[in-house]
A and B are shown apart, each in its own frame.
Chain A
Amino acid sequence: MTGGLLGAMRAVFLRELLVFWRRSTEVMAALVFFVIVTTLFPLAIGPERRELMLVAPGVLWVAALLATTLSLNHLFASDYQDGSLEQLLMSPYPLSAMVLAKIAAHWVLTGLPLALLSPLLAVQMALPTKAIGTLVGSLLLGTPTLTLIGAIPAALTLGVRGGGVLVSLLVLPLYTPVLIFGAEAVAASAGQGFASVAHLSLLGAFLALALSFAPWASSAALRVSLD
């Protein structure tokens, strides 16, 4: 039966990848948003490298967080409209596992490219080279947590008026711990070099917590929304 479950999860995962890939403009939108927002900061602050370096960890992390939030609207919305979400509810496998597969696919197409693209923007923001590894690592650990937590409000606001803005309102306060430790990890490694291990392991702990809690909560949320 476990093989069946994993098989079903893989099927959902691959289907999601394909569907998201077909709507690649939406996937790209989050990425482009990330790039544009980080580009705006030097224009607002000034090209002084020392000043940019000071704010770089925070700017990069806030931009990544906002880009993730922006992409949350596409997580369930189209499946909700075309009815395939209700089919998912009917499936014999636990809904939380299916939701986890969906979230994983979503992250592969939004969070992962975002983390891979970040070194380029780090250079733009005058982040020291030694901190770039930590930046990518913290984003690789942090963005899945953001997507996992964000799936809950995304599921809660399905078909609700003003859904898009509401999702950001609901999700941003919940993001504060990830933001604090993510940006702090980058700042720490830009300063002394190795102090970031503790922050990264805390980000890992958040990810583990979110993995155990969020799929269950968002499937409960989906059941409420589709009731």
Chain B
Amino acid sequence: MKLVHKYAAPKRFYELAGTLTPWFATLTTLLFVSGLYLGLYWAPPDYQQGNAYRIMFIHVPNAWMSMMAYMIMALFAAAGYIWNIRLADILAKVTAPLGASFTLTALVTGSLWGKPMWGTYWVWDARLTSELVLFFLYVGYMALQASIDDARRAAHASAILAIVGVVNIPIIHYSVYWWHTLHQPASLTLTSQPKIYITMLIPLIVMSIGFMFFYLTMLCVRARNEILWRERRADWVRKLVESRP
């Protein structure tokens, strides 16, 4: 716990994130470039879906990240709420817009994938529907954050909302899946290929790790901004600003 508090001091994290950002950014770029090469060029066309399946390499990582980011956000929010760790409040707050953008990307690419597969842009597919609900949850979280001026109250109120959301997400998810199977028993869902080939799996994994590091990079950049703003009256920020005219 002592160690947590040492690194959870906003100043320490500001410095740590500053050194990590270029490394994360480089890694993200490398993974994205190689993932794009593998996904768009190296992997052969699928015999059923032709080239359309290549949308999977961005849809699936974004869908994964959208859910993972919500879990991370709720964990940070809970830590900030329970132990009063300011850094956790900040990390939860800056995760929300990133998670929302992953969700939006998953939705748009999912519907662009749906058009060649189903013939329409939107089908009430279980995955797309629960992504949509997840998007609304993110929007609600950000709206609540934005409408409360006091940073502490904003953090605690939205933490409760995030925890309630996490309890609800599995229920929403399974309700939607059940609802979907009831109404469309034999329909084709995204990513339910009979067999996933190794040539699909490799680009998928590379792109997924790429988006994970993209999240980490942007988390650092955004958290540094937020820390600097919140600590603007602290001595170390004054010194920092004076040292870099």
Contacts and interface: CB of A to CB of B under 8 A. Distances in A.
Nearest to A221: B160
A76 to B, nearest CB: 14
Contacts of A52: none
Contacts of A153: 161
Classify chain A: how many residues form its interface, as a range.
20 to 34
A160 B147 contact: yes
28 contacts: A149-B164, A152-B164, A153-B161, A156-B144, A156-B160, A160-B147, A166-B140, A166-B144, A169-B136, A170-B144, A173-B133, A173-B140, A174-B137, A174-B165, A174-B172, A176-B133, A176-B175, A177-B175, A181-B175, A184-B179, A206-B171, A213-B164, A217-B164, A221-B157, A224-B156, A224-B157, A227-B153, A227-B156
B176 A170 contact: no
Interface of B: 133, 136-137, 139-140, 143-144, 147-148, 152-153, 156-157, 160-161, 163-165, 167-168, 171-172, 175-176, 178-179, 182
A140 B156 CA distance: 33
B100 to A, nearest CB: 13
A5 interface: no
Interface in A124-165: 149, 152-153, 156-157, 160-162
Q: Is the interface of B mostly helix, strand, loop or mixed?
A: helix
A196 to B, nearest CB: 13
A157 B168 contact: no
Given A162-B147, A181-B175, A172 B136 contact: yes
B148 to A, nearest CB: 6
A173 B171 contact: no
B242 to A, nearest CB: 35
A221 B162 CA distance: 12
A173 B153 contact: no
Nearest to A179: B175
A174 B164 CA distance: 9
Contact of A184 (B136, B167, B172, B182): B182
A173 B136 contact: yes
B176 A176 contact: yes
Nearest to A156: B157
Given A172-B136, A173-B136, A152 B175 contact: no
Contacts of B163: 217
Given A177-B171, A180-B175, A169 B143 contact: yes
Contacts of B147: 157, 160-162, 166
Given A166-B140, A217-B163, 10 more contacts: A152-B160, A152-B164, A153-B161, A156-B157, A157-B144, A166-B147, A174-B137, A180-B176, A180-B178, A181-B175
